[in-house]
Amino acid sequence: MEIQRIIFGLAGGLALFLYGMFTLSEGLQKLAGDRLKKTMELFTKSPLRGVATGAVFTAIIQSSSVTTVTLLGLINAGLVSLQQSVGVILGADIGTTITAQLVAFKVGKFALPIIAIGFLLKVIAKNEKIKYLGEAIFGFGILFVGMNFMSDGVGPLKASAYVMGLLVDFGKTPFFGILAGAIFTAIIQSSSATSGLVIAMSMQGLLSLEAAIALMLGANIGTCATALLASIGASLSAKRAAMIHLLFKVVGVLIIVIPLPFFVRLAAATSSSLPRQIANAHTIFNVGITLLFLPLGFLIVKLVKIIVPGEIVEVERGTKYIDEKLLSTPMLALANAEKDVVRMAEIVLGMIGDSKRVFLNDEKKLIKVVSAKENSVDEIDKILDGYMTLLSEKSMPIKDSEKLSGLMHAITDIERVGDHLNNIVELAEKKEKEKVSFSGDAKKNLSDMFEAVESIFGDTVKALGGEDGGLIENIFHKEGEIDMMEKEFESAHMKRLEQKTCDPRAGVIFADVIRNLERIGDHSDNIAHMLLVGF
């Protein structure tokens, strides 16, 4: 029965603790909305601001894992640099200690009233924000119910000489405690839950401060597993950021382990309560590594670039010319918007050459370049669309209003050209995966089609930039030629398939590439008509 009580109490209590943490985090994230993510983008320009942002962000959502995964997403999108991520990572580690500090308070006896209040707010409240607050309070209460079950569940372990001896060994030989804490945290994906369990065990007198600190140090390493997993398939910078997180923790633990007795005495001096001493040790450790590593951030970045080698794909992101302050001067705002539209089109023009080299020359390294540029184009499209919508509400001459309308249609066409080029790269990956080969004639047709499309879109970019000299008429003429090329090349390819001079599996891929290229000609034609009428 004692074994059953231990297993059920520990497993059920841990499940409730994790559920409470999840519910608390979800409620707070809904309450904050997208503002936290936007704040992270904005306040990472200096190391200290990055630390503050990471700490506040994590303290609010109660999850360093969510912070690091969000940060990796921003790095992956090119919105936060690797250097900027250093401060945020360190700040997140400080923010996550808030959970341990809360758990160290003996508020378990208030858990049920807290749950009742949270439930009532969630169910009865009409206001959405109050509902989210109720959800967060409900999760907070559940967290402490789980804490109580864990504490009661591990109580009988005091009677086991083997378990007590093992826990004593964690204090005498910190390596085993660190290893256990790291593995457990990596499995459950929550350092806060590990901290909660350690504090629960300390409340039952199962752990000495030395053993508890060893487990807590291990939890700090184990929490890096979430970021490492999230970095799989992400950009090189995101992988490096995950490695920076791991380096901070591992090196920090190694530094602390050497003078561990001194660190234990320092933690013991902060409070007469063992749970509070453990929580304080957790905070001191993370504040300490922040103070140590923050000034060395640039060296850490250099080291990680050696550990995780590779070439970063540098792609211009965001708009360059528009400014909301200029909206009060519509003519100037429109002129700057036009510059960013041209810049957006130039990025797409570069994608045509890149996608050609990927498909025809098997230059795989350019796959990520095309993908990064396509993401950049999508981002610029979204920003410009919002900006020009605001501009359309301003009073301006009819001619300028028509020009604005034309530009809004143009960015849609440009963005869709980017989508077609991304489709072609995906077809190149399919070709490679399925080992599909094309005949020499098929490759020549595709090369000619790429050149025609690059030529027509190059003229479109020049025309958008204000050049004339018959460019629009050239675009109309070239679009007609591209339509004819599509029909001619598809017919020729069908004959090659019938004569078995080309891989049968190539038929669908060839047709899809030709169709995507022809659509680029259509979008160029759309932009040309807009320029003819609206400019």
- Rounded Cα distance, 248 and 19, in Å: 28
User: How is the chain split into domains, by residue range?
Assistant: 2-307, 324-534
CB 372 within 8 A of CB 317: no
Find all residues with CB under 8 Å of 357, minimum gap 6, and list them. 363, 366
What is the end-to-end Cα distance of the chain in Å, rounded? 84
The region that residue 451 occupies, defined by phi over 0 for left and psi between -120 and 50 for alpha, beta otherwise, is: alpha
pLDDT of residue 457: 92
Output the pLDDT for position 1: 45
Beta strands in 445-511 (DSSP E): none
Q: What is the pLDDT of residue 433?
A: 85
At residue 345, φ and ψ (nearest 5 deg) are -65, -35
- What count of other Cβ atoms lies within 10 Å of the Cβ of residue 49? 16
**Tokens coding 376:** 């950049």
Q: Which residue has the tokens 């849609």?
A: 412
Q: How many CA atoms lie within 13 A of 222 on its CB side?
A: 25
d(CA 402, CA 159): 83
CATH number of 324-534: 1.20.58.220
Alpha-carbon separation of residue 18 from 44, 190, 478, 512, 534 (angstroms): 30, 8, 62, 48, 59
Q: What six digits make up the tokens of 360?
A: 């025809």
Which residue in this structure is represented by tokens 């000495």? 208
Q: Classify 46 as helix, strand or coil.
A: coil
Residue-level pLDDT at 55: 82
CB 245 within 8 A of CB 227: yes
Count each helix (H run) and each strand (E run) in the chain, helices first: 23, 0
Please report the DSSP string for 244-292 in residue order: HHHHHHHHHHHHHHTTHHHHHHHHHTT-SSHHHHHHHHHHHHHHHHHHH
Torsion angle in degrees (nearest 10) through CA of 83, 22, 206, 160: -120
* Contacting residues for 289 by C-beta, under 8 A, at least 6 apart: 90, 93, 248, 249, 251, 252, 255
pLDDT, averaged per 10 consecutive residues of the chain (535 residues), comes to 64 74 66 56 68 77 66 66 82 80 66 85 83 82 72 57 59 80 77 77 80 88 79 74 88 89 91 88 90 86 86 70 84 89 92 90 83 86 90 86 89 93 90 82 88 92 80 88 89 79 76 92 90 68
